[in-house]
Chain A
Amino acid sequence: MNYIFHILTMINIYLILSLSLNILVGYSGLLSICHAAFYGIGAYISAILMTKLGINFFFALPIAIMGSMVLSLLVSIPSVRLKGDYFILTTFAFQIIVFDVLYNWVSLTKGPYGISGIPSPSFLGYLITGPVKYFFFSLIISILCFVFINIVLKAPFGQVLKAIREDETLAHALGKNVTKFKIQAFAVASALAAISGVLFAHYVTYIDPTSFTLDESIFLLSIVLIGGCGNIKGPIFGTFLLVIIPEILRFLGIPDTIAPNIRQIIYGLLLVIFMYFRPQGIAGEYKFE
């Protein structure tokens, strides 16, 4: 039973990640390959605050969100003016720099050893621990994020992003500050990614840089591209599909030594096949031009 709740908790975490990445990829047309960096930044900020300074979870969470938003400026300011491949490259570079910092700044992040003993969140003296309780906790947070994302995307803000995606020059001509909107989209998406990072860190209670690699960013991008982007249901499809595939492999009895490789091959194949036959993904409405 715990096993099922564990999977559901991971789905909650990944739902926030994919829906927030969708704000960039699907709504703004910005193919970002550094989402795992913000996921990691959130996880690390809150883990460091709680283990080193003993700050309460509900104070650490907003600090992690703010930190991630501020750091998002480091990638959004240089990148949003660039187009196509150059934009993708900048996000690539940011992902690698963040990973290197997490891995090499040993005095702060303990580098490859990771941070262990991250306390579970407690609410008014009630400790939220174990898969079942944590599932309901993560469910509440992911519903809140879901509602927030819905509001943001239905609001004029989301509509302007779509307009920029469709025709940047036209949006500019209509008096929209394209650069500012893109930077804001980055900030919102990275704030949400930080929330899932915090959820993840306090769920598994041990984090190390290998959870926030380039591969993880590519995985998140695959969720959004295979599920489809530009609307809400696409990333939700993608999350369920791609988080559950490894579990199916487990039930098929594929040995653990080769399971990760098989899983990656499946993701890669899905990416190539979808890009050729159905670039908008399973349920998406936006395809790249």
Chain B
Amino acid sequence: MTSNLNVPSDRISFSISDLQEVARRIRRNIVTMIHKAGSGHPGGSLSAVEIVTTLYFKVMRHNPSDCRWSERDRFILSKGHAAPLLYAVLAEWGYIPSEELMTLRQIDSRLQGHTECRLVPGVEMSAGALGQGLSFSIGMALAGRLDKQNYRVYTLLGDGECDEGQVWEAAMAAAHFKLDNLTAIVDNNGIQLDGFNKDIMNIEPLAMKWQAFGWEVIEVDGHSFPQLIEAFNNVKTIKGKPAVIIAHTIKGKGVSFMENNPDFHGKAPNSEELAKALKELG
């Protein structure tokens, strides 16, 4: 179930408990969609639920009935394997019908395993090959500046994704171009496909890397709505450089047996596991 709001985002105000209820529904949809599809990426979808919920319900200006509205804030999902999360959020707002969520990854569905921008209203960029979203966002931020539009661009990266060299090409360029209308969020859940980041490819010290590249760095608990809201309010006041929010998260957050478990990076829950997950999520 979704709320299917289908109104411009600035028409409604949401309390923290509203956001918690939305996040609960989104998590239920994520595990159910992936179970139904028989494949997908629950871990990195669940870890970023609060981040994306905060953006769509508290931060971004957007309008489900006009997804190409030129003044909309842009959300770029660079970690395209978290597609189920984005689809579930878009369904909450009525960009897509909530019934459609259960067609994920099936033939003739618009909901590709990784996001495809030409098929789904509200998806700004095709993603799946990692590392490209921040560069793409730079293009959007530069266009906004040229057109004297005051929209902002928010880009969600995975921490494993930061292994990609292109992320750092983009980090250098965004600071060079002084893009204060661009905010990156790193879903820092500490796990990539093959295991823990620290064992596969250590990306620490992550905050110092972004600082060294010329970014304002804010670190938050990525499951705390108040901390996320405050961080997104702060980045709007930073001038002359881009900002990155390093959101410390738990991979698989909300489902005990998926939490901090590399096995659920890219594995669907079976029927028993789904029942257990839904019971835990409430």
Q: Do A and B come from one complex?
A: no
Report which B residues bind A (CB closer than 8 A). none
Report which A residues bind B (CB closer than 8 A). none
